[in-house]
């Protein structure tokens, strides 16, 4: 769900390498006269910045206090998030413009941003030579460090800060030290999930995927990374509920929960929820990780990281980044594939079963998974359509020029840049039928060439996370988990049907039928 999610080390036997190519950064700084020009790489679909007209950034921030409040109400209630951006694109005739981003008063001292909504301008947010990533993980405000044990965890650190590199290396170690357990534990845990879904559908006619997914996701992470089953500890079955409450206290100012708007805006968007209200819950999570993550904490000490700082970073990476990502991504993937219908289901089932039989010798192995291009493409397409972390921020380190497809814009040092990813990854200048879920979009050489525009991981899919950048440390791990979910699903079933609703975080999905495998 974030720039500091759980990770595979590089290299790792579990890493997904299909379509991976090392390439130059999508955005490069043209080091010449000030201001610096942020221009797309030669492979981008955007025109060279030297040929684009220089345009003043349209839009304004309104009067102090009043302008940010008006934008917040429009964003959450009067227009809604997507319409908020669409309206201003039409108004200004530009995918780059000025606006205030929530939460604004009285949580964010400066809500002013420059909005980037196209595939040409958006990648400047990944270039840490041009933008600073310090304390911008949640945007124009930062949750209290009381929610993370008093530490600024990795997601809030800029790569230039001394703790960034060792903490990111610790996350690489976190996954790699038990990498052989990932596939077996995933199949064990999510196999149980689908058996539960079958029984619930038989009894009630439908089954809530979301709650079962939360339980399975946390159990899987604990078993795979720490060799611990939460139900056998003092945490019991409470983990997912505690995490969801803890995340709400951090992201509440950015969410709507369906409460009366005047109450929600006052209590959720205007003031911080007191961390003291969930201190006991957080302490229970800390105790679980302190007890369970011994080998990882030992490695942290060898790296020069204190055990106390390490345990809070491991907790954040596991619970916020990874559990939170699975909580959003998996229901979204099931929704999109479910709605695509039986024809796609048949193609996926044939590919998955053939690869497991012919390549894996009847077992789900990495070699077998690599032989499933349609499955991989479907996972990428879900990440393109509904990225788990839809917003990215970065503060300009220097004066620069940022280019859209149609114009160039001067940005001053210190200004906050904001990108709303679902617009950038549905750019009609890049993708055919951008609003549609096209499961085989990334199959073949032509499809693979589009992967550089899949940027859910805070960087292009064609690039790799490192200690020098803010790309999600667990980029390959997340894609592998999405593919494994489809593998487990279509090894068991020929087809399935879903009922979809809205949720504060992602989609609410209920399974209404599971048709058992017949071939």
Establish how many alpha carbons lie within 13 A of residue 460's alpha carbon, considering only the half-sphere containing its beta carbon: 27
For residue 299, the model assigns a pLDDT of 98
Q: Lowest mean pLDDT: which of 12-16, 79-83, 176-180?
A: 12-16
Distance CA 422, CA 392 (A): 11
pLDDT for residue 37: 67
**For residue 303, what are the contacts with CB-CB under 8 A and spacing of at least 6?**
166, 169, 170
Portion of the chain with pLDDT greater than 90, in percent: 88
Residue 431 clears pLDDT 60, i.e. is over it: yes
Q: Summarize the annotated binding site as residue ranges.
A: 472
User: Has this prediction a pTM greater than 0.85?
Assistant: yes
pLDDT tens readout for residues 150-170:
999 999 999 999 999 999 999
Known binding site for heme: residues?
A: 472
pLDDT at 313: 98
Looking at residue 39, what is its pLDDT?
Answer: 52
Residue 502 has a pLDDT of 79
Pull the structure tokens for residue 335.
């929704």
CA separation for the pair 475, 462 (Å, rounded): 11
Q: According to the model, what pLDDT value does residue 518 have?
A: 96
Residue 20's pLDDT band (cuts 50, 70, 90) = very low
Q: Is the pLDDT of residue 504 over 80?
A: no
Looking at residue 459, its pLDDT comes to 96
Among the listed residues 169, 147, 165, the one whose alpha carbon sits nearest the alpha carbon of residue 157? 165
Using CB atoms within 10 Å of the CB of residue 245, give its burial: 0 to 12 exposed, 13 to 18 middle, 19+ buried.
Answer: middle
CA distance 405 to 392: 19
- The number of angstroms, rounded, from the C-alpha of 382 to the middle of its chain's C-alpha atoms is 11
pLDDT confidence tier of residue 382, bands split at 50, 70 and 90: very high
pLDDT value at residue 50: 62
Res. 2: pLDDT tops 70? no
User: Given this model, what pLDDT does residue 291 score?
Assistant: 97
Enumerate the β-bridge partners of residue 501: 508
Q: In sequence order, which residues have a C-beta less than 8 Å from that of residue 425 and are 6 or more positions away?
A: 119, 384, 385, 387, 431, 453, 454, 455, 456
Q: Which of 38-47, 197-206, 439-448 has the lowest mean pLDDT?
A: 38-47
Six-digit token string for 368: 């077998």
Helix spans in 372-425 (H) = 373-385, 421-424
| Mean pLDDT estimate for the chain | 91
- Is the pLDDT at 23 greater than 50, yes or no? no
Report how far residue 85's alpha carbon sits from residue 29's, in angstroms, rounded to the nearest whole number.
28
Asked whether the bond before 256 is cis by omega within 30 degrees of 0, the reply is no
Task: State how far the Cα of 277 lies from the Cα of 299, in Å rounded to an integer.
Answer: 33
Residues 6 or more apart whose CB falls under 8 angstroms from that of 120 comprise: 40, 44, 45, 46, 403, 404, 405, 427, 429
Read off the pLDDT of residues 44-78 as tens digits, 9 standing for 90 and up. Answer: 333 445 689 999 999 999 999 999 999 999 999 99
Quick one: pLDDT band at residue 506, thresholds 50, 70, 90? Answer: confident
pLDDT tens by residue, 465-482: 999 999 999 999 999 999
H or E segment to which residue 391 belongs: strand 391-396
Tell me the average pLDDT across 359-380.
98
* % of the chain beyond a pLDDT of 70: 90
Chain mean position to CA 79: 24
Give CA angle at 329 (327, 334), nearest 5°: 105
For the chain, domains (ranges, CATH) are 54-516 (1.10.630.10)
**What is the rounded CA–CA span in Å between residue 323 and residue 220?**
10
Nearest to 90 by CA among 423, 350, 372, 328: 423
Alpha helix (H) ranges present in 205-238? 209-226
Summarised one tens digit per residue, pLDDT across range 258-317 is 899 999 999 999 999 999 999 999 999 999 999 999 999 999 999 999 999 999 999 999
* Angstrom distances, CA of residue 244 to CA of 130, 189, 278, 388: 34, 20, 11, 15
Question: What are phi and psi for residue 28, nearest 5 degrees?
Answer: -125, 145
Per-residue pLDDT at 26 exceeds 90: no
The pLDDT assigned to 175 comes to: 87
Contact assessment for residue 247 and residue 275, using Cβ atoms and an 8 Å cutoff: no
Q: Residue 187: which of 3, 360, 5 has the closest Cα?
A: 360
């Amino acid at each position: 769900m974030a720039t500091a999610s759980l990770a595979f080390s590089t290299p790792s036997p579990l890493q997904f390498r299909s379509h991976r190519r090392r390439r130059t950064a999508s955005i490069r700084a043209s080091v010449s006269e000030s201001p610096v020009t942020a221009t797309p790489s030669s492979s981008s679909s955007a025109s060279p910045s030297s040929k684009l007209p220089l345009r003043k950034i349209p839009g304004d921030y309104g009067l102090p206090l009043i302008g940010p409040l008006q934008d917040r109400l429009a964003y959450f209630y009067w227009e809604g998030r997507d319409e908020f951006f669409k309206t201003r694109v039409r108004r200004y005739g530009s995918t780059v413009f000025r606006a205030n981003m929530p939460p604004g008063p009285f949580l964010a001292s400066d809500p002013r941003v420059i909005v980037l909504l196209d595939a040409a301008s958006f990648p400047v947010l990944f270039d840490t030579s041009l933008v600073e990533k310090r304390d911008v993980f949640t945007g124009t405000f930062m949750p209290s460090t009381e929610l993370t044990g008093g530490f600024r965890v990795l997601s809030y650190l800029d790569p230039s800060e001394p703790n960034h590199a060792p903490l990111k290396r610790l996350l690489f170690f976190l996954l790699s030290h038990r990498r052989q357990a990932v596939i077996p534990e995933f199949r064990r845990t999510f196999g149980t999930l689908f058996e539960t879904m079958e029984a619930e559908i038989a009894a009630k006619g439908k089954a809530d995927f979301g709650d079962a997914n939360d339980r399975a996701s946390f159990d899987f992470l604990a078993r795979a990374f720490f060799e611990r089953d939460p139900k056998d500890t003092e945490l019991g079955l409470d983990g997912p509920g505690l995490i969801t409450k803890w995340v709400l206290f951090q992201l509440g100012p950015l969410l709507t929960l369906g409460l009366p708007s005047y109450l929600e805006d006052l209590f959720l968007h205007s003031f911080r929820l007191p961390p003291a209200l969930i201190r006991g819950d957080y302490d229970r999570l800390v105790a679980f990780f302190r007890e369970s993550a011994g080998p990882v904490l030992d490695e942290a000490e060898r790296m020069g990281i204190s055990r106390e700082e390490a345990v809070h970073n491991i907790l954040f990476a596991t619970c916020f980044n990874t559990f939170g990502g699975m909580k959003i991504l998996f229901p979204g993937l099931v929704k999109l594939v479910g709605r695509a219908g039986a024809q796609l289901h048949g193609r996926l089932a044939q590919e998955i079963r053939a690869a497991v039989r012919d390549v894996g010798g009847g077992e789900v192995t990495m070699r077998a998974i690599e032989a499933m291009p349609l499955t991989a493409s479907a996972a990428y397409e879900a990440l393109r359509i509904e990225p788990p972390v839809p917003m990215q921020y970065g503060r300009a380190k220097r004066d620069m020029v940022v280019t859209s497809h149609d114009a160039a814009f001067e940005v001053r040092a210190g200004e906050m840049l904001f990108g709303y990813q679902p617009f950038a990854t549905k750019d009609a200048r890049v993708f055919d039928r951008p609003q549609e879920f096209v499961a085989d979009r990334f199959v073949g050489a032509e499809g693979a060439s589009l992967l550089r525009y899949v940027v859910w991981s805070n960087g292009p899919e064609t690039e790799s996370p490192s200690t020098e950048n803010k790309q999600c440390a667990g980029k390959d791990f997340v894609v592998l988990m999405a593919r494994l979910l489809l593998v487990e699903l279509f090894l068991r079933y020929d087809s399935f049907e879903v009922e979809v609703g809205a949720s504060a975080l992602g989609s609410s999905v209920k399974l209404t039928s599971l048709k058992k495998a017949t071939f």
